[in-house]
A and B are shown apart, each in its own frame.
Chain A
Amino acid sequence: MKAMIGFIIVVIFGILILFNLKLEFGGESGIAGEMYIEKGVSETGAVNLVSAILANYRAYDTLGETIIFFIAILGVFTVLKGDKK
């Protein structure tokens, strides 16, 4: 019964999303994207634009990723290295 209710809710909201939000996939690049393409090489000096964004424009994001990776190691360590009962 609960599964049926959940399924109906998912179908109703799916139809609403499909017909009300006109999602466009792969549209024009925004202002930030054009800025990266135009000024990326001259501002960072790196030919690889992905690396330029990851390590220079969005290095803050990369810092967060490394912290998440560290926390993942901590979690595995805590779960698997614990004493056997």
Chain B
Amino acid sequence: MSSRIVETATDIVTPFMILFGVYIIINGHLTPGGGFQGGVILGSCALLIYVVFGIKRHNKNLSIFENIGALIFLFIGVLGIFFGGFLFSNFITKGTPGNLLSGGTIPFINLAIGLKIGAGFAILFFIILQYIERGD
């Protein structure tokens, strides 16, 4: 339904949007941002693809990614019980504050949340667009 101009612009913009979302997630413990914010950017990237190219581009296995994200998040939390004494304790060495590899478990929790929220928003937009396309 969309014109060739829109499709070409989406082709150019989409990789940068994904890169920006991943950057927000990975730098969540250094700069403003984090798992939720980066995940929402990834999800809106999926929305752009659905609107421009149609929902046939939807990947049926996307819900697996959401489950994997939630399971990694819970797994890190449960590992905190065994190594730190309480749920979600920060049991890895902290590193020097300011480096990319610092903050203990925080970057991994951000990655898991980003995966979960990004896939979740993609599924949400897919369901709503499918409902709109089906008619009333």
Contacts and interface: CB of A to CB of B under 8 A. Distances in A.
B97 A59 contact: no
Contacts of A73: 120, 123-124, 127
A29 interface: no
Chain B interface category by residue count = 35 or more
Interface in A29-85: 41-48, 50-52, 54-56, 59-60, 62-63, 65-66, 69-70, 72-73, 76-77, 80-81
B79 to A, nearest CB: 12
Interface of A: 41-48, 50-52, 54-56, 59-60, 62-63, 65-66, 69-70, 72-73, 76-77, 80-81
29 contacts: A41-B97, A44-B94, A45-B97, A45-B102, A45-B106, A46-B29, A46-B106, A47-B29, A48-B30, A48-B31, A48-B34, A51-B33, A52-B106, A55-B109, A60-B87, A62-B109, A63-B73, A63-B77, A66-B116, A69-B116, A69-B117, A69-B120, A70-B70, A73-B124, A76-B128, A80-B128, A80-B130, A81-B127, A81-B131
